[in-house]
Structure 1
Amino acid sequence: MKIDILTLFPEMFKGPFDESIIRKAIDKNLVEINIHNLRDWTSGKHKTTDDRPFGGGKGMILMIEPIYKALKQLKSKKTKVILLSPQGKTFNQKKAKQLAKEDHLILICGHYEGVDERIRESLIDEEVSIGEYILTGGELPAMVLADSIIRLLPNVLEKEATAQESFEEVEIDGKKEKLLDYPQYTKPADFKGLKVPEVLLSGNHQKIKEYRLKKAIEKTRKKN
């Protein structure tokens, strides 16, 4: 997979993409990530990417021209273009799995008061939000999308690591439900009187499986 990210603040991505699972995936050539400064597609000495909205109003909005030029250079027939914005559809695990099947993603980080509406109307395939709250820009949402998608790519993690996770659909009493992950414990088995449930130490795999399903259901019900 190839991921291109269009942003006004490319330096923000150095830390998250230089560590842990994402770094390993890049080193193994399982994913290619390119961070692009939108100002590279501007003209004039001021490298202007935003301006005041026609008709008046507060703040500044991203201009269509730099984004159009960037997409014209970076897009191919297999590219899906996504705008990160609070106005988009809420991102979830199902969407992460869908996007993990794509060959090429371009993520546009919104900023300021938003983007020229013509970008939404003619340049993107989807608009995605990571929640109903406001951030200063789309950089953090782009990191969230990239992380959640990359970990689902083949050979990035062991199959067992993603086989049973939070929000996986499980059939319960004939109905499919998205469950949270079950509680997990590690050494020591007894820490200052806080003990690991005996069933997890029993070696009985069937009972452990039943216990974990029960607890996953309980956690899901409690959250909902």
Structure 2
Amino acid sequence: MTAQSQPWTATVLTLFPEVFPGPLGVSLAGKALERGIWHLDALDIRAHAYDKHGSVDSPPLGGGAGMVMRPDVVDAALASVADRPGPVVYLSPRGRVLDQSVVRELAGEPGLTLLCGRYEGVDERVLEARNVAELSVGDVVLSGGEVAAMLVLDAVVRLLPGVMGNAESGADESFESGLLEHPHYTRPAEWQGRRAPNVLLSGHHARIRQWRRDQAERITKARRPDLWARYVGQTDHEPEDDER
């Protein structure tokens, strides 16, 4: 355990609880789960169905393809975890787009409840009645919210105190400074005729830091004009010439 008095608590409401923890059970997230830094409950929405068939969906009112998750079933599932800490979030293409600032916000909460939709989605009335926030992991359509939930939890858990062994390792990563991350190199210094930049072999830490910052700026400017525009609005930096 860390200095936290209670583990950060993740609750996932899903029709497929058996897929969890999945990749969250290995590497950093898995080790932190074993150590009790965070806690995961994947709960079956179907347990709150009202008929013997376990029905959770109905055809959309007004016609159309697919099925919609029923408000009464989803409401009962949400009511069963109403005492869990942190906000309730429905994973939806309509939601606020996930970025590192949102991840930091969620990591600062005592926990999080994630509602995973399926079919055509969830009846709007229960989202309104329960004041459920919506969060999108990108402009893509998934079969359900489970993969998106894993993405969100993986991003959040790694920021919890005590999860990353080197506290500085997260500070230099993509998006933390508003930039994409600089390139990485390791041994051997030369591989298949390609040599790592000389500055990285110099032992000159100030020059290495500057080179990495320059590379991060250069890559961001070339690959993510949206991030670059936001970054230059806050700084007066321009990428320096490459030094190899």
TM-score w.r.t. structure 2 length? 0.85
Residue 206 of structure 1 is matched in structure 2 by: 206
| Greater shift in the superposed pair: 56-65 or 72-81 | 72-81
The amino acid across from 1:97 in the alignment is: R
**Residue deviations 1:107-142 (CA, integer Å, cap 9, x gap):** 001111111011221224310011111111111110
Aligned-pair identity (%):
39
Residue 193 of structure 2 is matched in structure 1 by: 193
The amino acid across from 2:92 in the alignment is: S
Residue 162 of structure 1 is matched in structure 2 by: 170
d(CA) in 1 for partners of 2:155 and 2:62? 39
d(CA) in 2 for partners of 1:159 and 1:122? 40
Structure 1 outlier segments of 4+, above 3 Å: none
SS of equivalent to 2:102: helix
SS of equivalent to 2:89: strand
SS of equivalent to 1:186: coil
The amino acid across from 2:70 in the alignment is: M
Which among 110, 114, 123 is matched to residue 121 of structure 2? 114
Residue 106 of structure 2 is matched in structure 1 by: 99
SS of equivalent to 2:135: strand
| Greater shift in the superposed pair: 23-32 or 7-16 | 7-16
Is 1:179 matched up with 2:179? yes
d(CA) in 1 for partners of 2:203 and 2:211? 12
CA gap of 1:26–1:83, structure 2 versus 1, over 3 A, is same
d(CA) in 2 for partners of 1:125 and 1:162? 30
d(CA) in 2 for partners of 1:11 and 1:205? 48
Is 1:51 matched up with 2:58? yes
d(CA) in 2 for partners of 1:72 and 1:49? 16
Is 1:15 matched up with 2:22? yes
The amino acid across from 1:64 in the alignment is: P
Cα deviation for residue 87 of structure 1 reads 1.1
Higher strand fraction (1 or 2) = 1
Q: How many positions carry a matched residue from both structures?
A: 216
SS of equivalent to 1:167: coil
Residue 13 of structure 2 is matched in structure 1 by: 6
**Residue deviations 1:141-173 (CA, integer Å, cap 9, x gap):** 10100000000100100211112211123xxxx
Cα deviation for residue 77 of structure 1 reads 7.2
Gaps of 5+ in 2: 1-7, 226-244
Residue 134 of structure 2 is matched in structure 1 by: 127
SS of equivalent to 2:87: strand
SS of equivalent to 1:168: coil
Is 1:84 matched up with 2:91? yes
